Amino acid sequence: MSDKKARIPASQPAQMLHSYAVWDAGVRWFHWINVLCVLGLIAVGIVILSGSALGLSSEGKVDLKILHAWIGYVFALNLLWRIIWGFIGNPYSRWTAVLPGGRGYGTALREWVSGAKAGHPPAYKGHNPVGRLMLALLFFLLGVQMITGLVLAGTDLYFPPFGHEFAEWATAAGEDHTKLEGLVPGAKEMLDPEGYASMRRFREPFIEIHEIGFWAMLLAIVVHIGAVVVSDVKEGNGLISAMFSGRKVFSEKPRD
């Protein structure tokens, strides 16, 4: 990969800026699709959680849950794509460069923290050691929301990939799949009271985890955005613009 060089304006101290290709198209597409999905899921989720205060009808709540689920499918497919891309993308996209750990990580983390305290953290083309910790948390939360969301889509709406099994459970259909014909979200008349109650008890910890993950995700997003803005302002390496262009600029040689 060849580096592009450009001189900064004469009004500033003379030094050379080096432009490096960092984020490939796979990472950039994942990032912005994920941003749109998460914003959509948060917006719809808040309305669902506030349904009683907003006077939302049962039918309206079901419709919003269906919308939430469809956005969730795009979110899940995009996240699964990123997991795969972490094994086949460019070196800065791979999990070895994204998640914390590996040989020398502890030393690199201490050096970055020490440099940050001194006002001059070491430069990295990819994620710095502290950024990798934040990404590990974000991907963990994304994974939790995906898994619990798919379970809830099955228990609430009988949507795939688990909806058929939950529908059998709720109706006590067993092998008689004719009992499932015409079953729709919110319908009570086709349900077996004991089976439905048992299925809903199974659902309870998943909805609790999903709601806790929702608020944790909101907090993590705020911290993530704040850290990115502060880093971009202080280090001036185009961290934000790089998620559009794929390139970052440095006045010194990056560690990686």
Q: What is the CA radius of gyration of the chain?
A: 23
CATH, residue 108:
1.20.950.20
* pLDDT for residue 192: 83
Does the pLDDT of residue 26 top 90, yes or no? yes
> Rounded mean pLDDT of 117-131?
88
Pairwise CA distance, residues 36 & 25, whole Å: 17
Q: Flag whether pLDDT at 27 surpasses 90.
A: yes
Strand duo 4-7 + 247-250: pairing: unpaired
Domain that holds residue 110: 25-250
Residue at 218 is within a domain: yes
pLDDT at position 5 is 46
**What is the rounded distance in angstroms from the CA atom of residue 246 to the CA atom of residue 27?**
9
What does pTM read for this prediction? 0.86
Domains of the chain: total: 1
CA–CA dist 17, 249 (Å, integer): 6
- Whether residue 219 lies inside any domain: the answer is yes
- DSSP assignment letter at 250: E
Instruction: Evaluate whether residue 1 is within a structural domain.
Output: no
pLDDT at 195 over 50: yes
* pLDDT tens-digit map of 145-194: 999 999 999 999 999 999 989 988 988 877 666 667 667 776 777 788 89
In a domain, 96, yes or no: yes
